[in-house]
Amino acid sequence: MCGFIGFTGTTANNARLIENMCERIIHRGPDDGGRYIDDGITLGFRRLSILDLSCPSQPWTSKDGRFALVFNGEIYNYISLRDELKALGHTFTTNCDTEVVLEGFVEWGRALIPRLRGMFAIAVWDKEERTIFCARDPFGIKPLYYTVADGDFIFGSEIKAMLEHPKITMRVNPRALRPYLSFQYSSTPETFFDGIYKLPPAHTLTFRDGTVSLERYWDVDFDEDESRTLDDFTDELEHDVRESVKLHRQSDVPVGSFLSGGVDSSYITACLMPEHTFSVGFGEAKFNETEHAEHLSELLGVEHHTKIITAEECFDAFPQIQYHMDEPQANPSSVPLWFLAKLTREYVTVVLSGEGADEIWGGYEWYDDTPALRKYKRIPSPIRRAAAKAVKHLPYFKGHDMIVRGGGTPEDYFIGQAFVFSDREAKRVLADKYKDAPTPFDITRPVYDKVKDKDELTKKQYLDISLWLPGDILLKADKMSMAHSLELRVPYLDRIVMASAQRIPSRFRVNENGTKYVLRRAANRSLPDEWATRPKMGFPVPIKNWLREDRFYELVKAEFTAPHASEFFNVDELLHILDEHRSGKANNQRRIWVVYTFLVWYRQFFIEYKRKPLE
């Protein structure tokens, strides 16, 4: 696991600039570093040693000197690819996946990318064609950002390193804030930095003659196979998950496992059987699953490590958390994840985690119908659709949301697992300059258009895989783990696992027995009922209670009334939301947190961030 940074063109001091940029991401690779400077290209790299610890640091160049490569991630099928390349006449001097990626690119060019099984962000400079080729893994596990500034292409694993480049002008993207208030994360290929973009998952990028072109190489294809039984799918899921875990444990350094009280991480742990497991929680019972993790670890004979986090620790760490995120990210679970990664790194360098199970097998509560909604859906669908259309734009009343959801069209109400401010509420708190931006439904519409013929459950899963998973879940997993030089691996998000998961009929994913039903059946072969069937708890954080305490209320209020806050928000409206929550008249914790997060992020990058000198 590593980090890279690069740019075309020249500056006053390319060598010093690339060192400054690499220093910004040294947390991604504290073990070693390297640089490559040639006519028209400068590449920098930081390495966290995982496989073949004697392997030289990147950047790597091909034997003929034509290609220079930087690569962040892990390729789990690199051994079989290496054997295939050997049969084609390629020779290898190391046992690391980086050499396989480079030789594979020499042999197959961009056709290499769909062959890779793993998590990756890749950039290759072609000295002969004077082009840069980039690629990102199918799910978006590893990040890759880019921009074109004054004709130069600047790219890297983290935005903070790119900002060192003197040709980048730092401005807040005026189109990013409005949808963020609803989604709680940056939900489009644009970032919060005007002109800087994310390479979308499952895409390649080519920069040639000053022009960027993108191409998609893979997509999820939910195509249900009705010829097979529930037992068939359970058997296949168990085989695929165990094989994926086996591949993901490849490492020359210790490997551990995150472990909560839920089925996802518990199943990974049971398949892996690591020496160490890790969990964190809070002092309040409703916000602490650590006892479940401790119990399972005891049953499995694994050494477990736990930390109980205080509110003071969370608020103290929050500016650092947002700095490492690069963009404002208001999922409260980022906070405990920061501390979980920090704890884990004291014992291991690689950790397996359960991200992705909910999205690919249907695990979220939003995917299931409540008993009342199931009863309502007995009404003929044309009547329900007409009722939903009629009330959609009416003010809220009791039963409003059930009628809209009961219309059977997620396109009308579902933007993903987070929905903080409605668009109407967002416009009320925003300054005028930031109101002219895409609405949440502007962003979800083209995603839904790709699955028009699918059922409700599949539409929701596809939307979450496309937006929520890379924009929220995987972003915080990468940034919080790499902030502590910890490699986090996600065995569920494997292209072979997904290939079988997308064939499972909806009725085996979610039914009257609960969510991600087929996964729970498979897990139950390795786990007691208590863990296989436990309802999803997530990573709850007691923000609601904290914001009603004077010290934290005052801390947030100070941020809401800071001079820069009025540039973005109607401060009176913010204070009304904050005071309404403090008094107990409303639960505004999510609204407060999403605004507070943005303002803390803004302070980190637009007030405190300073470029390093090039002398």
Mean pLDDT of 266-289: 90
Residue 1 pLDDT greater than 70, yes or no: no
Residue 257 resides in a domain: yes
Note whether 196 and 234 are same-domain residues. Answer: no
Query: What total of structural domains would you count in the chain?
Result: 3
Q: Domain check: are 73 and 153 in the same one?
A: yes
Residue 425 lies in a domain: no
CA nearest 1: which of 489, 493, 490?
489
Over residues 505-519, the pLDDT tens digits come to 999 999 989 999 999
Residues 134-162, mean pLDDT to the nearest whole number: 98
Q: What is the rounded CA–CA span in Å between residue 490 and residue 351?
A: 9
Q: Which helix (H) or strand (E) holds 22?
A: helix 14-24
63/207 same-domain check: yes
| The pLDDT of residue 538 is above 80 | no
Domain annotation covers residue 489: yes
Asked if 81 and 135 sit in the same domain, the reply is yes
Whether residues 316 and 280 fall in one domain: yes
Collect all residues with Cβ–Cβ distance below 8 Å to 475 and sequence separation of at least 6: 143, 185, 325, 329
Q: Do 308 and 194 reside in the same domain of the chain?
A: no
Picking from 192, 216, 240, the residue at the C-terminal end of a domain is 216
Is residue 126 located within the same domain as residue 202? yes
Q: Is 90 inside any structural domain?
A: yes
pTM of the model: 0.95
Average of per-residue pLDDT across 148-175: 97
- Tell me the per-residue pLDDT of 228-268, one tens digit each, with 9 for 90 and over: 999 999 999 999 999 999 999 988 888 999 998 899 999 99
User: CA-to-CA distance for 337 and 481, rounded, in angstroms?
Assistant: 8
DSSP string, 58-90: SPEE-TTS-EEEEEEEEETTHHHHHHHHHHTT-
pLDDT value, residue 301: 94
pLDDT at 524 over 90: yes
Q: Tell me how far apart the alpha carbons of residues 384 and 389 are, in angstroms, rounded to a whole number.
A: 9
Q: Looking at residue 47, what is its pLDDT?
A: 87
CB < 8 Å & 24+ apart, contacts of 210-214? 210/148, 210/151, 212/146, 212/148, 212/153
Q: Name residue 288's amino acid.
A: N
Instruction: Say which CATH number the domain at 282 has.
Output: 3.40.50.620
Q: Which residues are marked as active site?
A: 2
- What pLDDT score was predicted for residue 455? 94
Burial 492-530 (b: 16+ CB within 10 A, else e): bbbbbbbebbbbbbbebbbeeeebbbbbbbbbbebbeee
Same-domain check for residues 22 and 164:
yes
In this structure, the answer to whether residues 332 and 198 fall within a common structural domain is no
In a domain, 392, yes or no: no
In the structure encoding, which two tokens stand for residue 417, read together?
Answer: 């697992």
Q: How confident is the model at residue 406 (pLDDT cuts 50, 70, 90)?
A: confident
Contact (CB, 8 A) for 33 and 45: yes
Q: What average pLDDT score do residues 54-75 get?
A: 91
pLDDT at 376: 83
399 located within any domain: no
pLDDT above 80 (res 53): no
Which residue, 190, 216, 242, sits at the end of a domain?
A: 216
266 lies in which domain range? Answer: 230-362+465-532
Mean pLDDT across 303-318: 96
52 shares its domain with 199:
yes
End-to-end CA distance of the chain: 31
Query: Is residue 414 in a domain?
Result: no
Task: Put residue 525 in one of left, alpha, beta given phi > 0 → left and psi -120 to 50 → alpha.
Answer: alpha
The mean predicted confidence, pLDDT, of the chain is 94
Please give the Cα distance from 356 to 363 (Å, whole number): 9
- Taking residues 114-119, report their average pLDDT: 97
The pLDDT value given to residue 537: 67
92 inside domain: yes
Question: Which is it for strands 303-309 and 211-216: parallel, antiparallel or unpaired?
Answer: unpaired
Q: What is the pLDDT of residues 448-458, one digit of tens each?
A: 999 999 999 99
Question: Is the pLDDT higher at 67 or at 373?
Answer: 67
**pLDDT-derived band of residue 273, with 50, 70 and 90 as boundaries?**
very high
CATH of the domain at 160: 3.60.20.10
Structural domain ending residue among the three candidates 532, 555, 584? 532
pLDDT attached to residue 51: 61
φ, ψ (nearest 5 deg) of residue 388 = -65, -40
316 and 337 in a common domain: yes
pLDDT-derived band of residue 55, with 50, 70 and 90 as boundaries?
confident
Question: Mind listing the pLDDT tens digit for each residue in 345-388?
Answer: 999 999 999 999 999 999 999 898 877 887 888 888 888 888 87
Half-sphere exposure of 148 (CA within 13 A, CB side): 11
Give the pLDDT confidence score for residue 400 in this predicted structure: 77
Question: Does residue 247 sit in the same domain as residue 143?
Answer: no
